Every structure is written in C-alpha cells, then in structure tokens.
Amino acid sequence: MFDETAALRRADCLIWAVIAAVTLIVGTAGIIGPFHIDLSSYLRVAAASAFIMAIASFYSRFRPDPKLASALTGTAQLAAFAAVGAPLSYIAASAGLPLWDSNFVAWDRNLGFDWMAWLAAMNAHPKLHLAFRFAYLSFTLQATVAILALAFTNRLARLRSFIFAFMLASIITIAMSALMPAQGVWGQLHLSTSNYPNIDPATQSMHLAVFHGLRDGSFRTLMALGSEGIITFPSLHAALGLLFMVAVWPIPYLRWAMIVLNVLMIAATPIDGGHYFSDIVAGLAIAALCWLAATRCVDGRRFAAAGEIDIADAPSIAPGADTATGYPSQARPQPASRKSLKAT
C-alpha cells in the first residue's frame, strides 16, 4: 500500500537537502571565495523561514492539519531557496565566459523571430502592454497563489512536485547561464527610450551594472534580498510560467486564469525581461523536463501507476476521511484496486 504521508516527508527532506546544498555553495563562495556576504539579509530570511517552519511543525505534530502545514512548509521552502538561488546566479555570472548574445540574435533570426517588430507592436499598443507588464511582474503573486491553492485543495504531493520543479529549473538555468552568458537585448542592441516612447518595460537595463560588475570583478556582494535578475539564457520567467500553469491545472476555478496570466507573462518576457526568443524556447523546454523529473522524484509510484490520481480527486468528502491521504480511514485502496481507480 502506498504511504502518502511518508512520501511527503521524503519529498520535504529532498527539497531541504537541495536548499542546504545551494546554501553551502553560496556560503563557501563568501568564506573562501572573492565574494562578500550581506549577512543581515540572510539572517532576516532565515529568521522568517524558521518562524514559519515552527508554525508548520505545530500543525504537523500537535494539532494535525496537513493542508495548513504544507502551505506553511512550501512558503518557507520557496523563501529559503530564493534567498540562496539568486546569489548562486551571481556566482555563475562571475565565471566571465565569452558572451553569447550574437549567437542568440542569430538563433532568433533563424527561427523567424523579429524582436524589434515585437517591441514596435507593444509600443503601438501601450494599454495592452500594461497587461503584459503586470503579468511579467506577477511572479511573487503567482507563486503564493500556487502554493496556497495546491495546499488547501489537498494536492499535497503536487505542491511538493511544483516546488522541486521550481528549484530544478532555477538551478539548471543558472548553470546554463554560466556556460552561455549573455547581457540581454537591452545591452546588446543599445536601445534608448526613443525606441519605445509609449511604454515602460519592466526591467530594461537595470541589471547590466551588476551583470558586468560580476564579470569584471567590481561587484562581489551576495545578498538574500534585493538581488537583480541577471539570467538571460535560458529564460527563468518562461520556465516558471509553464510550471505555474501545469501545477494548478487540476484546479478548475484557477486553471484558466493562470493560463491567461502566464501566456501573457511568457509573451511579455522578450520586451519586459529583455530576453531573446530563443531564451524562451529553452526555458519552456527546461520547465517541461523539470516537471517530469520532479513528479517522479516526489511521487513516482503514484504518477507512474495511475497517471497521477490526485489526492483531491479521491473520495475525500466521505465522513472520517484520513487527512493525510483523503481516503476514508477504513477504506483505503489496496494495490489491487488501482486498476479500477484508473478506469474511473
């Protein structure tokens, strides 16, 4: 019989292990490497994450509420990873390998994408661009909604899959950005506001000072809060846009809203994120692979055997349902019944 509670614990251990590994890399770079760590920013995040986890532990051990405990744990995990993930991208950029911008421009041309034409279209429709800009900046809001929605609809394994896929996609994009660094479209094309007088793209060239400072050694500060997004290829925004959509797909009242918002976010990525179109293609491919890998690492037996029979899709409304699995405590399905569950 599949033990859902044990699987969730293993998934949480895996997620925290990855966070610990990234923290070790960042800490080592600050202790024996050329970087300076803004310790106060890390202490604030650590204190907040520890406080959230203390509450999660209370609702896990002393007053069992798996949904609330999972929502709190997921929030703490994502906050902790973000605090060390952004500095990891700084360490990657400091490698200073040759820029790939000219290659990405050529790839876009070969794929038939015209970045300047897309900029002109946005500039010609400034009200439409406001919707694109809002979508691009909705990352924190969407992450919060995804965690809470998955937790409180009792899709606890899917929540862990989302967080783990989020982390995998971030780490892979950071690694690739070290090997194939790029300053992005704003720096490559040397654009000015005269090229887009009617709109105000979200990022533009704000990251360039940090990016080039990391490459030439003039910037060496690692901070948990306030880091700039410096990754060009692959696009992490595009990757996370796909992950947001896939994660909440089983939730009918949220599915279509997230699809619309994330299609807008992905479409906004070239202009508001200063990305090449090839960045987006690569980001989407990475997201798909990371989701497949995460679902198998987190809950492989259920996903493989039943095409993901979601907890919330099981008969959880029956009186006396087990809060960890969603099945009635006296009528949990045995392995022999999986075939019939799949057939339904």
pLDDT in tens, 196-247: 999 999 888 778 899 999 999 999 999 988 888 899 999 999 999 999 999 9
Rounded Cα–Cα distance for residues 305 and 21 (Å): 31
Is 92 found in the same domain as 35?
yes
The answer on pLDDT for 302 being more than 60 is no
Is 42 found in the same domain as 69?
yes
The answer on pLDDT for 317 being more than 60 is no
pLDDT at 52: 96
Rounded Cα–Cα distance for residues 255 and 180 (Å): 34
* Pairing mode, strands 36-37 and 221-222: parallel
Average pLDDT, integer, range 271-286: 95
Is 242 found in the same domain as 108?
yes
Stronger pLDDT, 139 or 323, i.e. the higher one = 139
Peptide bond into 234 cis (omega under 30): yes
The answer on pLDDT for 176 being more than 80 is yes
Average pLDDT, integer, range 308-321: 37
Identify the sign of the CA torsion 18, 20, 25, 26.
Answer: positive
263, 206, 285, 254 alpha-carbon torsion, rounded to 10°:
-30
From residue 30, alpha-carbon distances to 24, 27, 36, 83, 91 in Å are: 10, 5, 5, 14, 10
Is 281 found in the same domain as 134?
yes
Report the number of distinct structural domains present in the chain. Answer: 2
Is 225 found in the same domain as 340?
no
Is 320 found in the same domain as 309?
no
The answer on pLDDT for 311 being more than 50 is no
pLDDT at 297: 87
The answer on pLDDT for 303 being more than 90 is no
The answer on pLDDT for 299 being more than 70 is no
Is 75 found in the same domain as 39?
yes
Is 337 found in the same domain as 298?
no
pLDDT at 7: 83
Give the confidence band of 331 by pLDDT, cuts at 50, 70, 90: very low
The answer on pLDDT for 251 being more than 70 is yes
What's the pTM value of the predicted model, to 2 decimals? 0.84
Per residue in 131-160, pLDDT tens? 999 999 998 999 999 999 999 999 999 999
pLDDT at 49: 95
Is 33 found in the same domain as 149?
yes
Instruction: Specify whether the CB–CB gap between 145 and 203 falls below 8 A.
Output: no
Percent of the chain topping pLDDT 70: 86
Is 340 found in the same domain as 200?
no
Is 127 found in the same domain as 30?
yes
Stronger pLDDT, 325 or 293, i.e. the higher one = 293
Per residue in 34-88, pLDDT tens? 898 988 889 999 999 999 999 999 999 999 999 999 999 999 999 999 999 999 9
pLDDT at 77: 96
pLDDT at 150: 97
The answer on pLDDT for 318 being more than 70 is no
Neighbours of 331 (CB within 10 A): 13
Is 303 found in the same domain as 172?
yes
Rounded Cα–Cα distance for residues 325 and 321 (Å): 8
Token pair recorded at residue 284: 């989407």
28, 11, 251, 70 alpha-carbon torsion, rounded to 10°:
-80
Please, which residues have CB within 8 angstroms of residue 290's CB and are 6 or more apart in sequence? 165, 168, 169, 172, 239, 243
Tell me which residue range forms the domain holding 78. Answer: 4-313
Instruction: Specify whether the CB–CB gap between 254 and 149 falls below 8 A.
Output: yes
Stronger pLDDT, 344 or 168, i.e. the higher one = 168
pLDDT at 31: 87
Average pLDDT, integer, range 2-21: 88
